[in-house]
Amino acid sequence: MANRWILITLALVFSSVSLILGALSDGVHHDDDLTHFLFARWAWTFPGYLFHLWGRPGYTAPTALVAWIGDRQTAWHMARALSAFVTLIGAVLAADVGRQIGLRYWAWIVCLCYVQPLNFLLSFTTLTENFTALYLVAAIWCLQRRRIAWGSALFSLALVSRVETVVLLPVWGYCVIAMARRAAIPRTRVFLAAITSLWAPIAQNIGHFACFGTFPVSAYLRPSGSTEYLATGPLAFLPQVLLAASPVVLLLAILGAGRVHRRGATSVVALAFVFLATHWLIKWIGLFASGGFARFVVAVAPLLAIAAAGGLETAMSALRRHGGDTVRVAVMAFGLLIVGYYATLLETRAGRLAFDIHRLDVLSSPRVITSLVGIVALTLILGRMRPWTLGARLGLLSLFVVSFGLLAHFIRPLRLTGVQSVARDVAIDARILAAGKPVFAANPWIAWWSGFIEDPTAHKGRRLLSSMPDGTIFVWDPIYSPSDFHKLVLDDFEKDPAYQRIREIAIPDDGVFVLLKKVGETPIEG
């Protein structure tokens, strides 16, 4: 009974904070936040967005149910509230999986979900990763209850929420077969589970072909990277995992993986490991034009929390008495600190880490160091601890302090950045200058501030711009326009007499927006 009250209290507290932060937010964690929401809202005008490869149908379809409500701002807040609900349900289901397999601290899995900084952050955004996480943990929840067909149907939704989850398909198949053998489930039900695990990708491919004439599955046949996301190094993904899951949760998850596996939840460990290993490899080699962002880890956040609850048992044992657990915790804690810090420095120097490591300088301030030394000295005097016990406690304390610093940094209302605020003024100027003529822009913030609804079949590239009438205002931006996807290079237009430079608007520390007017006929290009 006490565990249930702990779970209810934690769920109410964290979900309430998430809802409040979402209501106070007007910005994004990443521009994809806005793009995914717009796709869901535009789906009511262009249903093709429900099957769009980069819209992620597993996200777009449920979000579209609320994205139509009221004006754009109201609808966006409704979508954030839905995201908070999705994260909450994922955390509660993860806790119930922990209860099913007999973990002592199962009720605290809710807390272990939310103390993962980016999982908490994404609970008040409109990104796809927490939806993926819900589908995966819900599938595992069904699997643990021997409902393999329902579990496979939910797992199928994960396949159309994040494209890289396709690597989990054989892992899921193995887990279903293993459960079927253990529970003596008939082969007919196993066959049904195999079919239902593919229903969502099949539906997406059929719908996508009907709307766009191509199959999303073809994306897996193009593993090459892009000029934006290059090959990195073998340690490049580690800082992203640490930022997303926090060092303390990652350590506990590693410690608890074996315990969770032995309790019969192999699917938790296998799915999380394969998913993270895939992203590690993709970021290292630079495949599939993936940025290897930290937020991708959120897709397995509930699974990491379940494993971390198992690791919490090991950690508590290590703190209470000297033994093998104590040595393992001490070595792994300091090992993670050293390797993680080294990897973070490498990524920071390479300019690939969005998070500024110097924001954690407070953790090495004299006051913090003095406090840590005082705590260590006091525990030595009062507890007469052995060296390995001290190492375990100090290592865990250090990881906890760093994790708390990350959580404090990320968990706050999302605000508009300089470029996003400037885009609002640019959108107004462009509409005035166009005087009833079209406005063309690759930047999604121009579409947002202008209230555009864009046709998903129209690629915003040179060919579409060339086909537009004289008087069209082209808003060039330094981020999206010259990208590999749009290929709208400013020099090409400034050399073209069919385009006239009207004005430029500076972006704080980030280049300029350039407004060009189409003043002559142009051949259809691209």
pLDDT score, position 379: 53
Task: Express each pLDDT in 301-333 by its tens digit.
Answer: 999 999 999 999 988 877 776 556 777 777 788
The residue among 288, 276, 194, 216 whose CA lies nearest residue 240 is 276
Per-residue pLDDT band at 376 (split at 50, 70, 90): low
The helix/strand count (H/E) of the chain reads as 22, 4
The percent of residues in the chain predicted with pLDDT above 70, rounded, is: 87
Residue 451, number of CB atoms within 10 A of its CB: 10
What's phi and psi for 456, nearest 5 deg? Answer: -70, -15
- pLDDT mean across residues, the chain: 87
Task: Name the packing angle between helices 247-262 and 324-349 (round to 10°).
Answer: 130
Residue 411 near residue 121, CB atoms below 8 Å: yes
Per-residue pLDDT band at 5 (split at 50, 70, 90): very high
Question: For residue 304, with 0-12 CB atoms within 10 Å meaning exposed, 13-18 middle and 19 or more buried, which class applies?
Answer: buried
Task: Express each pLDDT in 55-95 by its tens digit.
Answer: 899 999 999 999 999 899 999 999 999 999 999 999 999 99
* pLDDT average, residue stretch 344-363: 63
Cα separation, 129 vs 304, in Å, equals 14
Task: Express each pLDDT in 248-279 by its tens digit.
Answer: 999 999 999 999 999 999 999 999 999 999 98
**Beta strand spans in 127-254 (E):** none
The residue among 295, 341, 2 whose CA lies nearest residue 164 is 295
| Domain definitions of the chain by residue range | 2-320, 418-518
Residues in a beta bridge with 96: none
pLDDT score, position 374: 60
Task: Express each pLDDT in 377-428 by its tens digit.
Answer: 555 544 455 666 766 777 777 788 888 888 888 899 999 998 999 999 999 9
Q: What are the strands of the beta sheet with 473-476, ordered from one edge?
A: 439-441, 473-476, 512-518, 499-506
Please give the C-alpha separations between residue 353 and each of 242, 357, 482, in angstroms, as whole numbers.
Answer: 12, 9, 22
Residue 1, number of CB atoms within 10 A of its CB: 5
Q: What type of residue sits at position 118?
A: L
Per-residue pLDDT band at 291 (split at 50, 70, 90): low
pLDDT score, position 382: 47
* pLDDT average, residue stretch 45-56: 92
Q: Record the pTM.
A: 0.91
Q: Name the more confident of 254 and 291.
A: 254
Tabulate helix, strand, coil % of the chain (nearest 5).
Answer: 70, 5, 30
- DSSP state for residue 147 in the 8-state scheme: -
